[in-house]
A and B are shown apart, each in its own frame.
Chain A
Amino acid sequence: MSLFTKYGQLIALLALALFTTTLHASGPLRIAAASDLRYALNDIVDLYREARPEANIEVIYGSSGKMTTQIINGAPYDVFFSADISFPEKLQAEGLTTTEPSVYAIGRIVIWSNTLDAASLTLEDLASDAITRIAIAQPDHAPYGLRAKEAMQAAGVWEAVQSKMVFGENIAHTAQMTESGAAQVGIIALSLASFPELATHNHHLIDNALHNPLTQGYVVTRRGGQKSEAMAFAEFMATEQAHNVMTRYGFVIPE
């Protein structure tokens, strides 16, 4: 019997150790960001750190839909930069935000390839037999994927390309699938195609009349409302310095 008492004590001890570490300190500023911001936001965070070397910031990238689900399920993010403002609005409806969702940039989509000259490709070309694999982001939860689907529907090729579609988990994953050559052609964010390593290849800018606008919105979450750093970073995104980085990556800054 004493064996089991010993075990009981040991388990109780482990449980105690578990709960004492559950008391979280305020910790770093955690930013959840849509994957199209992967390179642009990294540059902006670097600039921010130059101005405030003591700033402790972590950026986590993923698809906007996934990030939204995570925040609803209690993920500890303080600021959320979405690729579509509908996701921050959804969080607001759930009562999980501090600030009003607001637009910080308009995104664009491009046709990009690592093996072909994408500048000479059009959406109509995607239906041709010469192209065997096309990557887009998952339209269900990645805004850039949904806009790519809309553009192909508008161009009348969506049905024809069905059998050769592959879907990335988010837009950066889609770019990586295309960069690796696994997919011949990808419809990716202009902001990713503008990243120096990818910009060595040409891209074809898709007419933005063919899809709903990529109105990118951000919000400070309810959790982030308790951190002054969250508001400070949000304000920094509105500075000319940050805008310059965004425009360099092909974003349009709203009036």
Chain B
Amino acid sequence: MFTLGPAEWQAIEVTFRLCLYTTLILLVLATPLAWWLANGRSHSRVVVQAVVALPLVLPPTVLGFYLLLALGPRGVVGKTLEDLGFHHLAFTFEGILIASVIYSMPFAVQPLTEAFKNLGRRPVEVASSLGAGALDRFRTVILPLTRGGFVVAATLTFAHTLGEFGVILMLGGSIPGETKVLSVLIYDHAEGMNYAAAHSLSLMLLIFAFVTLFVVYSITRRFRVANL
């Protein structure tokens, strides 16, 4: 059933690299953002919340289209990079990585915002009054008390990036070893009427997605029981 050739392994490698980097980058970006969304007092929070949630409702083609225009050699970002002597980002791994970070943003920000809201300001204020510094408060108070939120955010981000297709197809151009992720390779196999290869990869992704979601729901349940 699972007969994987070099093209498949290459796509698996690109996909997992993309998912891993996206998850790491998003955890770094989403933590302060979610903290601000959960505890901030500014009215602009609603605007930011709406912007972060946009990928949930927008067709991936809208995001893919604008990113292609912006990151390509004629776009604002792409042209600036070219002028600085770098390569533009359309049809590159870095380009689809940026796209994935934007596309999966709500899946990292929302669970963390929930976790921080449930935590409330109290534990941090107490820690602060006891003289704990910012980093110390994060490491010894926030992180242990909200680790369920972090696990859910990381898993959902990883899994959602795995399921990305439309944005990558528009921005990535299906280049082996660079932007040809599993979902695009399956599409390619189906188009080439190589159904056996499409089957093994699809089944693999199906099982992986189920296991991931199973783990996420088990974790959220456990943490809810523990009153988190």
> Footprint of B on A, CB under 8 Å?
1-4, 6-7, 10-11, 14, 18-19, 21-24, 30, 35, 38, 58, 60-62, 70, 73-76, 169-170, 172-173, 175-176, 179, 197-198
For A18, list chain B residues within 8 Å (CB).
Answer: 94, 97
Whether the Cβ atoms of A2 and B193 lie closer than 8 Å is no
Contact of B173 among A38, A60, A198 (CB under 8 A): A60
Indicate whether A197 sits within 8 Å of B193 (C-beta atoms), given known contacts A10-B28, A73-B73: yes
Indicate whether A21 sits within 8 Å of B32 (C-beta atoms), given known contacts A73-B74, A74-B78: no
Which of these binds chain A: B41-49, B52-60, B131-139, B216-224? B131-139
Whether the Cβ atoms of A21 and B93 lie closer than 8 Å is yes
CA distance A169 to B24 in the complex (A): 35
Name which of B138, B174, B175 has the most chain A CB atoms within 10 A of its CB: B175
Name which of B68, B81, B137 has the most chain A CB atoms within 10 A of its CB: B68
Minimum C-beta distance from B29 to chain A (A): 8
CA distance A197 to B196 in the complex (A): 14
Minimum C-beta distance from A6 to chain B (A): 6
CA distance A73 to B173 in the complex (A): 11
For B25, list chain A residues within 8 Å (CB).
Answer: 14
Contact of B135 among A2, A24, A70, A175 (CB under 8 A): A2
For A38, list chain B residues within 8 Å (CB).
Answer: 192
Minimum C-beta distance from A255 to chain B (A): 32
Contact of A6 among B89, B135, B177 (CB under 8 A): B135
Indicate whether A76 sits within 8 Å of B91 (C-beta atoms), given known contacts A2-B133, A3-B135: yes
Minimum C-beta distance from A199 to chain B (A): 13
Chain B 75-107 near chain A by CB (<8 Å), digits 1 or 0: 000100100001111111110010000000000
**Chain B count of residues within 8 A CB distance of the other chain:** 37
CA distance A76 to B72 in the complex (A): 11
Whether the Cβ atoms of B191 and A172 lie closer than 8 Å is yes
For B40, list chain A residues within 8 Å (CB).
Answer: none
Whether the Cβ atoms of B175 and A76 lie closer than 8 Å is yes
For B89, list chain A residues within 8 Å (CB).
Answer: 22
For B133, list chain A residues within 8 Å (CB).
Answer: 2
Whether the Cβ atoms of B90 and A75 lie closer than 8 Å is yes
For B88, list chain A residues within 8 Å (CB).
Answer: 74
Whether the Cβ atoms of B91 and A74 lie closer than 8 Å is yes
Query: 10 smallest A-B Cβ distances: which pairs?
Result: A3-B134, A73-B72, A74-B73, A75-B91, A74-B90, A74-B72, A75-B173, A172-B191, A58-B176, A173-B191
Minimum C-beta distance from B26 to chain A (A): 11
CA distance A10 to B25 in the complex (A): 9
